[in-house]
Amino acid sequence: MTSIGTGYDLSASTYSPDGRIFQVEYASKAVENSGTCLGFRCKDGVVLAVEKLVQSKLLVPGSNKRIATADNHIGIATAGLLADTRHLVNRAREEAQSYRDLYRAPIPAKMIADRVGQYVQAFTLYSSVRPFGVSTILATVDKTGPQMYMIEPSGIYYGFYGCAIGKGRQVAKTEIEKLKLTEMTCEQVVMDAARIIHSIHDDVKDKDFELEMSWIRDGPNPKHEFVPKDLHEAAAAAAKASLHEDMDED
């Protein structure tokens, strides 16, 4: 039994005869067309890195960031539709603030992932709405230590030590699997994150990109913030040098 071209992809509330929801699958395709986004959970924190594709040379550098802060201890990196990204970031901020107002404490990692995941999943239930065309990586530190979750357009979420989303996810996953993340510090991971992003970017096929990197480090008062400029520049320079060395060897 086939469901291709038979109208089962017209609504997110309709299953195909073989049990698929095509609108959710199409939303995942929107994520795959976006720049690559990486997350690393290491021994002293979580590092996020994004290959933000620059749509026009006329854009102001640093605009339309793919990494945002939902609360002091929560960082969000996304791949997919930018407008959907902003909506989900605002929702995460509302959930974090609501929990803080009610319990006078920062929201735990699994709870913020669960609440955002349920919100995303609700948009796959009704014909009057469409699924979010974005996958989200949540980085946070709670009482149990550094935590990282990835939320898919279907609303399902997983906890990861290392994950990749976007067009270069397969190659990136292979590179991430080579790292011993539980033994590495945030500074060490930043260098590898920059190297992986630069190595998977195709200068011929892809548009120019900006490298965005942030981290949240374990400690008494964990705070999500962008990687310091000097370390960011050093990591980018080392990544470019490594790329040129590989090209020379070839």
186 phi, psi to nearest 5 deg: -60, -40
3-state secondary structure of 225: strand
> Where does 92-223 show beta strands of DSSP type E?
134-142, 145-151, 157-159, 162-165, 209-217
The Cα 56–Cα 152 span in angstroms is: 28
Per mean pLDDT, which range of 8-12, 84-88, 132-136 is the poorest? 8-12
The Cα 234–Cα 250 span in angstroms is: 25
234 phi, psi to nearest 5 deg: -65, -40
Pairing of strands 134-142, 67-71: unpaired
Which helix (DSSP H) or strand (DSSP E) does residue 75 occupy?
A: strand 74-80
- For 50-106, the pLDDT digits (tens) are 999 888 888 898 888 999 999 999 999 999 999 999 999 999 999 999 999 999 999
pTM of the predicted model as reported, rounded to 2 decimal places:
0.91
3-state secondary structure of 79: strand
116: pLDDT strictly greater than 80: yes
What are the tokens at 218?
A: 């374990």
Provide the pLDDT for residue 1: 40
134: pLDDT strictly greater than 50: yes
Provide the pLDDT for residue 195: 94
The Cα 36–Cα 52 span in angstroms is: 8
Mean pLDDT comparison of 1-15, 137-151, 193-207, highest-scoring range: 137-151
User: Degrees (nearest 5) of the Cα angle 210, 155, 46?
Assistant: 45
Say which DSSP state 35 is in.
Answer: P
Burial (CB < 10 A; 0-12, 13-18, 19+), residue 219, is exposed
- List Cα–Cα distances, 234 to 49, 113, 171, 229, in angstroms: 15, 32, 23, 9
Percent of the chain with pLDDT over 90: 74
CA within 13 Å, CB half, 91: 18
- For 189-234, the pLDDT digits (tens) are 999 999 999 999 877 667 789 999 999 998 888 999 999 999 999 9
171 phi, psi to nearest 5 deg: -65, -40
Residues 147/140, Cβ–Cβ less than 8 Å: yes
- What Rg value do the Cα atoms of the chain yield, rounded? 19
